[in-house]
Structure 1
């Protein structure tokens, strides 16, 4: 807090009503005015801070929801991949079984016959 005491020579600023009004105030009034101004500035700062905090919370919530959607999508994709992998394994087993039966019945793979 800064307190300024002005020593003004006689006759200086007599015609300035704002200056005359300020000079007539006593120290307590000046300090009270300074405190009131500081309260206003503090309140404005707190209001801005609160608004920024709320914006940050909203953004955080939005990104959290997006992350949850992404995780659900990845999980669904992983389940589908696992299902497709299991289906492929079953298909390969079935193909091997049919190939084995065909070989037992005399089928020969032309590609393998030449190698």
Structure 2
């Protein structure tokens, strides 16, 4: 199976290499072809080369002028007059109707920084509370696992003691059975099997 896997891996690599080379040629091939053809056109010694694609049959290398029927450009002033100077009509009294927005707009830089600091402190306090809760839960679960492990250890010890006791009892019973079997043979008993 490993040789089949190696062959499949080698085949997959070969397919990827072929795919990569063909993709590279597909993307860059036309550009290289045009560049090579232009180089052959400039070289006067190679007159038997075919003309490059998309060129006219004339011997001049200059492109003919393009004929464009493009529409006239539309100015931003005509599309959205309010956006040219980035002002909104009636924007001077923006937020004056809403008392909360108006109060927020009139706050100074120091007040905004105090609010930002208070918000960050609140976030830090929430994260600390969450971290303490998580640590407490981890401790509780750890103690519970320790109790379960102690129960398992004591049960294992009890089972081990019971097994050792049963082995000792089995040895004693085998000795008693062997003694009785020996007495029975001495008295003429034979094994029916």
TM-score by length of 2: 0.50
- Counterpart of 1:24 in structure 2 is 106
Higher helix proportion, which one? 1
- Counterpart of 2:164 in structure 1 is 82
- Counterpart of 1:91 in structure 2 is 173
Segment drifting more, 85-94 vs 48-57: 48-57
Deviation at 1:104, TM superposition (A): 2.1
CA RMSD across the alignment: 1.8
- Name the SS of the counterpart of 2:93 in structure 1: coil
Quick one: which of 47, 50, 56 aligns to 2:138?
A: 56
* Bigger radius of gyration among the two: 2
Unaligned runs of 5+ in 2: 1-86
TM-score by length of 1: 0.81
Bigger relative CO (Cα 8 Å, ≥ 6 apart): 1
Q: How many residues align?
A: 105
Stretches of 4+ aligned residues off by more than 4 angstroms = none
